[in-house]
Chains A and B, each alone.
Chain A
């Protein structure tokens, strides 16, 4: 039924959610500048900041929601929920931006720093004239990926149950859930249309112009500080008028790519066992600390016993089983992502307009929050929850495999393409002698990113709780386990599951992906030989 009230409610919900996202993004940007610049310009700070970020980025964000919620809630139940929600969005946005700033400031030329010293610039002046301008281009490019990542977890941070604490903040997630509950088709349609429109508009009018402003040419970077809003708008309208940005497509990267890039550089110096050990120590300390906070003091021994009992309550076999099932789900999603990404990328990469059109379409698609859409699309999806779970994971991750593969193919040097053309190689031979080798490293990076995202998405995908909708896969899974115990409010068990999940993620990153990557790069070493040897 048509109703102005419904439209107003939907608009208000959109505004509330967007405001939360916006505040979190601003905080993330400020955090990334503060921490990133500290890490990039001070050796001492770097030694602490980088390993900590490395661990934080591998944590399944959704899993830590209850801990944060509990913390903020216990400070103040009134505004605590609101702060917790913004904080949780922040945790899904901040890391890639921080790594971008860190990397940008770390590579500032020595001559520039020395001339700054000779001019006796104070720290504030250096910030203003050197560090911030140097960081801005990549920071701006990372705003959109951060936003997309945040929006996936938006619902999870607005609606949450942890034991007796029930948070249901006014926003997109809660409003859609309510409309679904009351069967208000008009409400659902209006809210979702607004959401999709807002997602697209935000992309076109805010993030694409901002990312485009950063330019790719070095010379431009210094002018960024002077960028004004009219300039942003002009750029936006230019993008729109030129056929929905087909000519001006800016390649946006997924947040985890920044992370992986930075981590790859750092972990080169750290061995696998040490890295795992460090992760384990960190997680254990975190677990003990948070359990201690929540059990309001008590002695350490008590806390340890609690955790041990939680472990027993779960049972090692249950944990192992859940891990294996989750691994399989992640593996299947990866296989599907790879399965369509490579053929499609191969099909379009030699045509610029096709590449740009497909990329733009997918950027928009990937920024539409599937978690919010879920109550609606759930009805159209196959009835098998197991299949739905895989689809959820795919929606959260598959794009990045595709973006990476397409990017790598588009970056094949012209010379190499001309060689396979002039010798009239058949498609299979082109694939075997050229394309395969060029896309392999990017494929692995894409898989790392997608797998990381998949582990996060598991928490939502294996057990979906939105409003009255409650669906879970019949088989075990770490995400399902986590979701169940979060709802029960069983903190020690939650901590144990998080510990397992984080260890699996870190272990896979170091033990599988990084090794594969090194293996491939070794084979390709010929041409990045110089850089590799120096690193």
Chain B
């Protein structure tokens, strides 16, 4: 009994603590004509240990920009991102990003593409790298395609390879930018299911996942918590928890309540 309480304690503390924090982020791009456009306006958010956070916003609202800022790839015009309470000053292997377009280098094999992610890991030997890449390719269902070139893969398979590349570094946080928007609907269904299952597995990192999308149903299907963005410049319009059991039934009335609610918040 006492043991159980202690464990629950740890769990709840972990869940409520933030692993990645963004504070008062503003971002402006310079336009070609010499002007500026504001893309992100005063966004502060926390990504908690172990959660699946959905960020939803219409196209062009600034989702990709926000995600790249969280990944340390773009420096925001103002504001700070903290990873485990330390300011983030550039990309780190602890935070992986799955890009909107399944960008694989066409001149490298699938295996070499995944190996790129490990290039900055000095402590791994080449054999260890290959071994690790193979096991992740295996996990996403691409065993046997290690030596294929990206152009020999279907859209869904490319996205799986990208996922393997994002996971192979054992990240704490996985950021995904509309990862299902460039594959056909049927493949998207099975990819979503796999991402959902992956979360339940104990052995696979990451601890937290952020999914960015303009597809409200997909966000409701996968997220524990959802942040709704306004259209450009992006601000936080609302935030809500989705306490539905998994796997979620897309045809249930509860599911649709959430979808409706988010649609209303977005408009």
Q: Mark A residues whose CB is within 8 Å of B.
A: 247, 413, 415-416, 418-426, 429, 433-434, 437, 523-527, 529
**Does B108 count as interface, using CB distance less than 8 angstroms?**
yes
The residue from B103, B120, B151 contacting A413, defined by CB atoms under 8 A apart: B103
Report A-chain residues with C-beta under 8 Å of the C-beta of B117: 423
Contact B107 A415 (CB under 8 A): no
**Does B155 count as interface, using CB distance less than 8 angstroms?**
no
Report A-chain residues with C-beta under 8 Å of the C-beta of B68: 418
Contact A526 B116 (CB under 8 A): no
**Does B97 count as interface, using CB distance less than 8 angstroms?**
yes
How long is the Cα–Cα vector from A421 to B95 in the complex, in angstroms?
A: 13
The residue from A419, A429, A523, A525 contacting B103, defined by CB atoms under 8 A apart: A419
Residue-by-residue, is B75-101 near A (CB-CB < 8 Å gives 1, otherwise 0)? Answer: 000000000000000110100110101
**When A and B form their complex, which 5 residue pairs have the shortest distance between CB atoms, in order from nearest?**
A526-B106, A526-B151, A415-B103, A424-B120, A422-B91
Contact B150 A425 (CB under 8 A): no
B208 CB, nearest partner CB in chain A, Å: 17
Report A-chain residues with C-beta under 8 Å of the C-beta of B116: 419-420, 423, 425, 429, 433
Name which residue of chain B comes closest to A520, CB basis: B107
How long is the Cα–Cα vector from A433 to B107 in the complex, in angstroms?
A: 8
How long is the Cα–Cα vector from A420 to B96 in the complex, in angstroms?
A: 12
Report B-chain residues with C-beta under 8 Å of the C-beta of A247: 34
Report A-chain residues with C-beta under 8 Å of the C-beta of B101: 415
Contact A426 B119 (CB under 8 A): yes
Report B-chain residues with C-beta under 8 Å of the C-beta of A425: 116, 119-120
Report B-chain residues with C-beta under 8 Å of the C-beta of A418: 68, 73, 99
Contact B73 A426 (CB under 8 A): no
What number of residue pairs across chains A and B have CB atoms under 8 A from each other?
A: 61
How long is the Cα–Cα vector from A433 to B111 in the complex, in angstroms?
A: 13
Name which residue of chain A comes closest to B92, CB basis: A424
How long is the Cα–Cα vector from A525 to B103 in the complex, in angstroms?
A: 15
**Does B167 count as interface, using CB distance less than 8 angstroms?**
no
Taking A422-B97, A433-B116 as given, write out 15 further A-B residue pairs in contact, using a Cβ cutoff of 8 Å, ordered by the A residue number: A413-B103, A415-B103, A418-B73, A418-B99, A420-B116, A423-B91, A423-B116, A424-B120, A425-B116, A433-B105, A434-B105, A526-B106, A526-B150, A527-B151, A529-B151
- Chain B interface size, as a band, is 20 to 34
The residue from A415, A433, A527 contacting B99, defined by CB atoms under 8 A apart: A415
Report A-chain residues with C-beta under 8 Å of the C-beta of B108: 433
A369 CB, nearest partner CB in chain B, Å: 35
The residue from A426, A524, A529 contacting B120, defined by CB atoms under 8 A apart: A426
Report B-chain residues with C-beta under 8 Å of the C-beta of A424: 90-91, 93, 119-120
How long is the Cα–Cα vector from A416 to B112 in the complex, in angstroms?
A: 15
Report A-chain residues with C-beta under 8 Å of the C-beta of B145: none
A245 CB, nearest partner CB in chain B, Å: 14
B210 CB, nearest partner CB in chain A, Å: 15
How long is the Cα–Cα vector from A415 to B107 in the complex, in angstroms?
A: 15
A165 CB, nearest partner CB in chain B, Å: 55
**Does B71 count as interface, using CB distance less than 8 angstroms?**
yes
How long is the Cα–Cα vector from A420 to B120 in the complex, in angstroms?
A: 10
**Does B149 count as interface, using CB distance less than 8 angstroms?**
yes
How long is the Cα–Cα vector from A290 to B106 in the complex, in angstroms?
A: 52
B255 CB, nearest partner CB in chain A, Å: 33
Contact A416 B105 (CB under 8 A): yes
16 contacts between A and B (CB under 8 A): A415-B99, A416-B105, A418-B68, A419-B105, A423-B91, A423-B93, A423-B117, A425-B116, A425-B119, A426-B120, A433-B105, A523-B107, A525-B151, A526-B106, A526-B150, A527-B151
Contact B119 A429 (CB under 8 A): yes
B230 CB, nearest partner CB in chain A, Å: 25
Report A-chain residues with C-beta under 8 Å of the C-beta of B119: 423-426, 429
Report A-chain residues with C-beta under 8 Å of the C-beta of B103: 413, 415-416, 419
How long is the Cα–Cα vector from A161 to B119 in the complex, in angstroms?
A: 63
A160 CB, nearest partner CB in chain B, Å: 48
B231 CB, nearest partner CB in chain A, Å: 23
Among B90, B106, B120, the most chain A Cβ lie within 10 Å of the Cβ of B106
A100 CB, nearest partner CB in chain B, Å: 25
Report B-chain residues with C-beta under 8 Å of the C-beta of A434: 105
B149 CB, nearest partner CB in chain A, Å: 6
CB interface residues, B 99-127, toward A, < 8 Å: 99, 101, 103, 105-108, 112, 116-117, 119-120
Contact A419 B99 (CB under 8 A): yes
Report B-chain residues with C-beta under 8 Å of the C-beta of A423: 91, 93, 116-117, 119-120, 169
How long is the Cα–Cα vector from A529 to B107 in the complex, in angstroms?
A: 12
The residue from A416, A422, A526 contacting B149, defined by CB atoms under 8 A apart: A526
Contact B120 A527 (CB under 8 A): no
How long is the Cα–Cα vector from A425 to B106 in the complex, in angstroms?
A: 18
Given contacts A526-B149, A526-B150, contact A422 B71 (CB under 8 A): yes
How long is the Cα–Cα vector from A422 to B165 in the complex, in angstroms?
A: 12
Name which residue of chain A comes closest to B102, CB basis: A415
Contact A422 B73 (CB under 8 A): yes
How long is the Cα–Cα vector from A437 to B108 in the complex, in angstroms?
A: 10
B118 CB, nearest partner CB in chain A, Å: 8
How long is the Cα–Cα vector from A413 to B119 in the complex, in angstroms?
A: 21
A216 CB, nearest partner CB in chain B, Å: 11
B234 CB, nearest partner CB in chain A, Å: 20
Name which residue of chain A comes closest to B175, CB basis: A422
Report B-chain residues with C-beta under 8 Å of the C-beta of A525: 106, 151
Report A-chain residues with C-beta under 8 Å of the C-beta of B73: 418, 421-422
How long is the Cα–Cα vector from A247 to B116 in the complex, in angstroms?
A: 35
Among A422, A429, A523, A525, the most chain B Cβ lie within 10 Å of the Cβ of A422
Report B-chain residues with C-beta under 8 Å of the C-beta of A429: 116, 119
How long is the Cα–Cα vector from A423 to B93 in the complex, in angstroms?
A: 7
Among A423, A433, A437, the most chain B Cβ lie within 10 Å of the Cβ of A423
How long is the Cα–Cα vector from A427 to B32 in the complex, in angstroms?
A: 29
Contact B71 A527 (CB under 8 A): no
Among B101, B107, B150, the most chain A Cβ lie within 10 Å of the Cβ of B107
Report B-chain residues with C-beta under 8 Å of the C-beta of A437: 105, 107
B98 CB, nearest partner CB in chain A, Å: 11
How long is the Cα–Cα vector from A421 to B103 in the complex, in angstroms?
A: 13
A333 CB, nearest partner CB in chain B, Å: 29
Report B-chain residues with C-beta under 8 Å of the C-beta of A420: 116
Report A-chain residues with C-beta under 8 Å of the C-beta of B99: 415, 418-419
How long is the Cα–Cα vector from A281 to B108 in the complex, in angstroms?
A: 44
Report B-chain residues with C-beta under 8 Å of the C-beta of A426: 119-120
A42 CB, nearest partner CB in chain B, Å: 37
How long is the Cα–Cα vector from A415 to B100 in the complex, in angstroms?
A: 9
A430 CB, nearest partner CB in chain B, Å: 9
